[in-house]
Amino acid sequence: MEKIGVIGAGSFGTALSQTISNNVKNVFLYSRRKEICETIIKSGYNSEYYPNTKLNKNIIPTNNLKDLKNCSAIFICVPSAGFRKILKKLKEIGVNNEVILVTTAKGIEYPSLNTMGNIIKEYFDIEYVALSGPNFASEIMLDLASICNIASKNLKNSIKIKNVLKTDKFKIEIIDDVIGLEFCGVIKNINAIAYGICEGMEINENARYAILNRGFNDTKNIILNIGGLKSTVDKYCGFGDIVLTSTSKESRNHTLGMLYGQRIIVDEKSSGIVFEGKNSIKAIKAVCDKYKINSVIVDFVYDVIIKKNLPKLAFKELWNKL
Amino acid sequence: MEKIGVIGAGSFGTALSQTISNNVKNVFLYSRRKEICETIIKSGYNSEYYPNTKLNKNIIPTNNLKDLKNCSAIFICVPSAGFRKILKKLKEIGVNNEVILVTTAKGIEYPSLNTMGNIIKEYFDIEYVALSGPNFASEIMLDLASICNIASKNLKNSIKIKNVLKTDKFKIEIIDDVIGLEFCGVIKNINAIAYGICEGMEINENARYAILNRGFNDTKNIILNIGGLKSTVDKYCGFGDIVLTSTSKESRNHTLGMLYGQRIIVDEKSSGIVFEGKNSIKAIKAVCDKYKINSVIVDFVYDVIIKKNLPKLAFKELWNKL
């Protein structure tokens, strides 16, 4: 492929652009913020996210979505809250069904309960590719050893995207359970928040890992009930990402949980940070209600974050249910 | 039950004695070291392991195995290297087939490849109970929230042992896959060493969690091939214990791996510490060879710890195989 588009010049979009630039002629990296494009053009750095890593020269920053019109594939790396808006715009500028769209966003639209893939299908009659894995973007940016899963109902699309992404260090494993992969990416944040709440309260390790274990099995049960495969949760997009996001100090949703466990309220607006997991709690709780799935971990996180119940009482209730 | 025996006054045996003492009249805690018994009798503390937690008064320390002869159940909490010797002695002192024997040891006899349960069966015609879970002994000692799995071919034995162990905080989940549970306890140490080696080398997190994920799936494959159930590896004795032992700083086998990753050789004799995982590597490698199972994680650990290959080269080889 000659021309690939990436929408979203945040940490993940920028890192993927860098990887992809090894395999294709040009990467068009779209940012809705003009100043980011200007900085990249001037300095070669996306200094807000990666002040120490120069972008490869064939990455072309742009503030104009139309520049992505003739790309053979477009990666959509924006938070789920802005996902539908991007699709609308892509349709408006005349992107057609020849394109391969790739979603890396980890969220469920609320209250529609659409996955990001479902939203793509509303605008384009194509088999999209979803990407998820235990991946800190900063490590992909540096081409450190990483693995992710991709899934599509069209294997040819998966293979094309694999070829665009892979390097010696960055491995891509194709699976075929699209809905399972998409839900793994969402539910892992809920697991990370649950683990974080427990850590914030200084709950002992035996209990924390028991909770994480239960979350893993609740994830399998949810994914089975919504039409995915349990075995998907054993894969990098499942086990790897759940454990990474829950136990690593670098994970934002883990931190969010820790703060709630310590009863510290975050000013998200002033922080300018998107806690994808927090947006997902209501959505996943609604999915559980809709499919009549019982998940004690989803309930625990919902009780603490949404209902603002006392974390220690919520934990006691959870422990009694195990 | 009135009288329960625990063999091994190390960290796990002492902690289980404390828990059990809540549920039965007397716990006979056997230590082969006279001075430990004497300290407990004099002070009420097993000061070598728990200098700050007093043992309950109905725990009776003894240096004479014969005192355990009429116990209704005996927990064997010694390292696997000393396991057979204990069984021989129990037979010699006239323990009969009325007893329920419980193994908490995590090892495979080498080169026979017997599980600890297999060794019990050589001496006693009974359905033993095996116990395993994501449990730091020190937390059980303090009756902090913990869960473990137990398994036996005789459900009645499992139920009896559950009743002896459980408290409000310490939950016991009965499963029926005895061999699966026993192997989980052994292979988790190999996973912890693998993760530790990577951490010692400062391999990036995306890669470490990918390795942990692969180890989890290799564990499933090994357990399936030796006659256990894949689903057992999703349970507390599997997922929970693998992730706890691999990622917690408190785990001894994780530490062992870290040291090898940094190319620091431990003087085990002088340290007086048993690295169960190290003893298990040859055994699990032999199990893989015997059943023609391919495990890249077992090979990696075997290459670094037993063959003493350079960890960085071993990692490169492993990554190429993923």
What per-residue confidence (pLDDT) applies to B276?
Answer: 72
Amino acid at A208: R
Distance CA B209, CA B73 (A): 40
Q: Is the pLDDT of residue B180 over 80?
A: yes
Reported as a single tens digit per residue, the pLDDT across B141-164 is 999 999 999 999 999 999 999 999
Distance CA A227, CA A179 (A): 7
Range in A205-219, B26-40, B60-74, B266-280 with the lowest mean pLDDT: B266-280
User: Cα distance from B249 to chain A (closest Cα, Å)?
Assistant: 11
Contacting residues for B288 by C-beta, under 8 A, at least 6 apart: B222, B294, B295, B298
Q: Is the pLDDT of residue B272 over 80?
A: no
Chosen from B165, B188, B202, B205 to mutate, greatest number of chain A CBs within 10 A = B205
Q: What is the DSSP letter of A305?
A: I
Contact at CB, B204 and A236, closer than 8 angstroms: no
As given in the structure block, the two tokens for residue B233 are: 């590896």
Contact at CB, A145 and B204, closer than 8 angstroms: yes
As given in the structure block, the two tokens for residue A284 are: 């996943």
Contact at CB, A207 and B144, closer than 8 angstroms: yes
As given in the structure block, the two tokens for residue B283 are: 């055994």
Which residues of chain B lie closer than 8 angstroms to A134, CB-CB?
Answer: 206, 209-210, 213
Tell me the DSSP string of B208-265: HHHHHHHHHHHHHHHHHHTT--GGGGGSIIIIIHHHHHHH-TT-HHHHHHHHHHTT--
Active site residue A220: no
As given in the structure block, the two tokens for residue A136 are: 């800190």
Measured between CA atoms, the residue of chain B closest to residue A250 is B205
Which residues of chain B lie closer than 8 angstroms to A170, CB-CB?
Answer: none
Contact at CB, B145 and A319, closer than 8 angstroms: yes
Give me the CATH topology for the region B179-321: N-(1-d-carboxylethyl)-l-norvaline Dehydrogenase; domain 2 (1.10.1040)
Q: Is the pLDDT of residue B274 over 80?
A: no
Give the CATH superfamily of B3-176: NAD(P)-binding Rossmann-like Domain (3.40.50.720)
CA angle B54, B56, B60 (to 5 degrees): 110
As given in the structure block, the two tokens for residue B268 are: 């085990």
Query: What residues form DSSP beta bridges with A130?
Result: A103, A151
Alpha carbon A229 to chain centroid, angstroms? 19
As given in the structure block, the two tokens for residue B263 are: 């190319």
Q: Cβ distance B132 to B106 under 8 Å?
A: yes
As given in the structure block, the two tokens for residue A117 are: 């893939």
Q: Is the pLDDT of residue B2 over 90?
A: no
Mean per-residue pLDDT of chain B: 95
As given in the structure block, the two tokens for residue B243 are: 């992730």
As given in the structure block, the two tokens for residue A289 are: 């209600």
Q: Could you tell me the pLDDT band of residue B322, with boundaries at 50, 70 and 90? A: very high
Which residues of chain B lie closer than 8 angstroms to A171, CB-CB?
Answer: 322
> Which of B135, B207, B210 is closest, CB to CB, to A206?
B135
User: Cα distance from B179 to chain A (closest Cα, Å)?
Assistant: 20
pLDDT average, residue stretch B46-55:
97
Distance CA B104, CA A110 (A): 47
As given in the structure block, the two tokens for residue A245 are: 């996001």
Q: Is A185 helix (H, G, I), strand (E, B) or coil?
A: helix
Strand (E) or helix (H) holding A164: helix A155-165
What per-residue confidence (pLDDT) applies to A153?
Answer: 98
pLDDT along chain A (322 residues), means of 10: 94 98 98 96 97 98 97 97 96 96 96 97 98 97 98 98 97 98 97 96 97 98 98 98 92 90 84 77 97 98 95 97 94
Which residues of A fall below an 8 Å CB-CB distance to B?
Answer: 133-136, 139-140, 142, 144-147, 169, 171, 203-207, 209-210, 212-213, 216-217, 220, 234-236, 239-241, 243-244, 247-248, 250, 319, 322
Distance CA A312, CA B11 (A): 28
Quote the radius of gyration of chain B (alpha carbons, Å): 19
Q: Is the pLDDT of residue B279 over 90?
A: no
Measured between CA atoms, the residue of chain A closest to residue B217 is A234
Q: Provide the residue ranges of all domains of chain A, joining segments of one domain with +.
A: 3-176, 179-321
Quote the radius of gyration of chain A (alpha carbons, Å): 19
Q: Which of B321, B1, B320, B322 is nearest to B156 (CA)?
A: B1
Q: Which of B150, B146, B137 is nearest to B168 (CA)?
A: B146
What per-residue confidence (pLDDT) applies to B269?
Answer: 79
CA dihedral A258, A260, A266, A272 (to 10 degrees): 50
Starting at the edge strand found earlier in the chain, the sheet holding B129-132 runs B59-62, B26-30, B3-7, B73-76, B100-103, B129-132, B146-152, B170-175
Q: Cβ distance B194 to B219 under 8 Å?
A: no
Percent of chain B with pLDDT over 70: 99
Q: Half-sphere exposure (CA, 13 Å, Cβ side) for B226?
A: 26
pLDDT average, residue stretch B28-42:
97
Distance CA A141, CA B30 (A): 56
A41: left (phi over 0), alpha (psi -120 to 50) or beta: alpha
Which phi and psi angles does A272 have, rounded to 5°? 65, 30
As given in the structure block, the two tokens for residue B23 are: 């549920």
Q: Is the pLDDT of residue B76 over 80?
A: yes
The active-site residue out of B3, B106, B160, B188 is B188
Distance CA B174, CA B161 (A): 10
User: Cα distance from B208 to chain A (closest Cα, Å)?
Assistant: 9
The active-site residue out of A3, A106, A188, A278 is A188
CATH topology of B3-176 equal to that of B179-321? Answer: no
What per-residue confidence (pLDDT) applies to B221?
Answer: 98
Q: Half-sphere exposure (CA, 13 Å, Cβ side) for A28?
A: 20
Which residues of B fall below an 8 Å CB-CB distance to A?
Answer: 133-136, 139-140, 142, 144-147, 169, 171, 203-207, 209-210, 212-213, 216-217, 220, 234-236, 239-241, 243-244, 247-248, 250, 319, 322
Q: Cβ distance A216 to A239 under 8 Å?
A: yes
Contact at CB, A244 and B205, closer than 8 angstroms: yes
